[in-house]
Amino acid sequence: MSEERQDSSMDEPDANATTGSEPVPEPEGRTEIIETGYDIGQDNFSGSVALELDIHKVVFSVSAIGIMLFTFLTLAFQNDAEPLFVGLRDWLTGRLDWFFLLSGNIFVIVCLGLIVSPLGKVRLGGPEATADFGYVGWFSMLFAAGMGIGLMFFGVSEPMSHYSTSFAGISVGEDGLRTDWAPLGGAEGNAVEARRLGMAATIFHWGLHPWAIYAVVALALALFSYNKGLPLTLRSAFYPIFGERVWGWPGHVIDILAVFATVFGLATSLGIGAQQAAAGLNFLFGLGTGNSMLILLIIGITLIAIGSVIRGLEGGVKVLSEINMGLAALLLLFVIIVGPTMAIITGFFDNLLAYGKNLPALSMPFGREDANFAQGWTAFYWAWWISWSPFVGMFIARVSRGRTVREFLIAVLIVPTLLSVLWMTAMGGTAIGQVVNDGYTAVQDAALELKLFQMLTQLPLTAITSFVGIVLVVVFFVTSSDSGSLVIDTIAAGGKTNAPVIQRIFWASFEGAVAIALLLGGGLAALQAMAVSTGLPFTLVLLGACYAVVRGLMNEPR
């Protein structure tokens, strides 16, 4: 047995598992110190101490060096790297769209099946475990880490896009296939049906399927860490599959890929978020949107994130998440009250029905005629969500100890889906109404990062609400960065959650530095493509996690 093994009593994946709520034992042999020399065959450095660390040598070293090398090569060979990675992304979503869609359906079915099955009674952490956080703090962290920033960025633009393509209808290419971007062929010339179809397609991308992806990863991590006594890292979920080999290179590869995907996703989001925040500040104050402004915003976001990770999960991430959710709730209520109130209320239920009605067709993996939509939107989204699942799943697992599996899945799957429907209905539905009823086409024609602010110009208190929107964008990115840094640090430390603060600072700073470097070099497109490309191997990882979770739950007391 390797020294990385954390619980020596667990000789079989399930038979000898621990089920109490005692603290997870720390993995042995992981404390390392950066010093002047290295003793071959030992797990510690020797010499004069420069800085205390608590890392997993292989995962930390390969991840950090690999990310720095990727960033350098992307900048040095930008003309070659960007087309390569964009082509890889397009090939994955174009040729393997059926695989991503089919896998997404499997994740939803597994989660819904566990909710209604007797396995839903299993408590994460053992029968006597109690929740670490109250419902308000728990929901706030779940939502802020999972999709908060995405809803800010796409809350207006995606419903508007799907409505526009649906209203325009279909076009047929020489091969007889529909070549437009309309979901399910659209609803040519029918504004009411185009709105319903557009909202259904949007909810499809932000509802059950993406949250099921997060839930599978989070449940696997929580179960094998809190109930089985294994490290809180992705390799632990594969002990039923790999056995003792999970502590060797099979496990190393899984954790390294998780770090890669998380850093790439967060750095890309920092760059995109800075662009939206800069666009909003320029919209209000004329401050410009050049590289200088973007760099200043990324530095500011990174510094706030560093302060948050220093304070830790309870004092930093939790507080920021609750502040953010409070501001988001105020903005949502404002739009509902001063906007088309009745249209939003009735639209919520109408959009839910449209989502349910179109869900089978939208999730169909084979025989799709709307190839552009299925490949360019859905397959791209599924690969993107899967590439983010190590980060979000790990974070959700860290804050969900003490919940039953049923309670956990309802909270992670159902509640965020309903909140996403409400948000998209209020923001996107209001913008569509401005175009259809008022003839206000500026929100339709605006750049992606400006659509939210253009929608708010047609409501009272534009300057105030737009500024709140900018603050939300910034703080949502801060919560993504700080929670992501905690997650990366946990993986790079071999599953430890109490590693030295200097490591959290390193990863938070690293994310900002990578974002700035790629922004200056024009490499954000390549980085985003790389993040999506990690979705393919992680789809296989998630499918394996589904098997591991069910097998693990079957041996837990209920």
Matching residue, tokens 């992705």? 234
φ and ψ at 344, to 5 degrees?
-70, -45
**What residue spans define the domains of the chain?**
31-554
The helix/strand/coil state of 54 is strand
The crossing angle, in degrees rounded to 10, of helices 191-206 and 341-362 is: 70
- What pLDDT is stored for residue 459 in this prediction? 93
Contact (CB, 8 A) for 402 and 137:
no
Counting as low any pLDDT under 70, the low residues of the chain are 1-54, 141, 143-148, 169-180, 312-318, 521-527, 558
- What pLDDT is stored for residue 20 in this prediction? 39
Contact (CB, 8 A) for 546 and 110:
yes
- What pLDDT is stored for residue 322 in this prediction? 75
Residue 210's nearest CA partner among 419, 403, 400, 388 is 388
- What pLDDT is stored for residue 10 in this prediction? 34
Contact (CB, 8 A) for 406 and 111:
no
φ and ψ at 2, to 5 degrees?
-70, 155
- What pLDDT is stored for residue 48 in this prediction? 32
- What pLDDT is stored for residue 368 in this prediction? 86
What pTM value is reported for the model? 0.83
Q: What's 31-554's CATH class?
A: mainly alpha
Alpha helices in 49-171 (DSSP H): 57-76, 78-95, 97-116, 135-146, 148-154, 157-168
Residue 399's nearest CA partner among 515, 308, 327, 497 is 497
Kindly provide the residue ranges of all beta strands, DSSP E only, lying in 285-419, ordered along the sequence: none
Pair of tokens at residue 177: 């296939």
Residue 311's nearest CA partner among 505, 557, 29 is 505
Instruction: Report how far residue 356's alpha carbon sits from residue 314's, in angstroms, rounded to the nearest whole number.
Output: 38
- What pLDDT is stored for residue 105 in this prediction? 97
Per-residue pLDDT tens digits for 227-253: 988 988 889 988 888 888 989 998 999
Instruction: Report how far residue 249's alpha carbon sits from residue 500's, in angstroms, rounded to the nearest whole number.
Output: 25
Task: Determine the Cα angle at 535 with ends 488 and 512, to 5°.
Answer: 40
CA distances in angstroms from 333 to 37, 79, 328, 426, 450, listed in the order given? 60, 46, 9, 9, 21
Instruction: Report how far residue 19's alpha carbon sits from residue 227's, in angstroms, rounded to the nearest whole number.
Output: 5
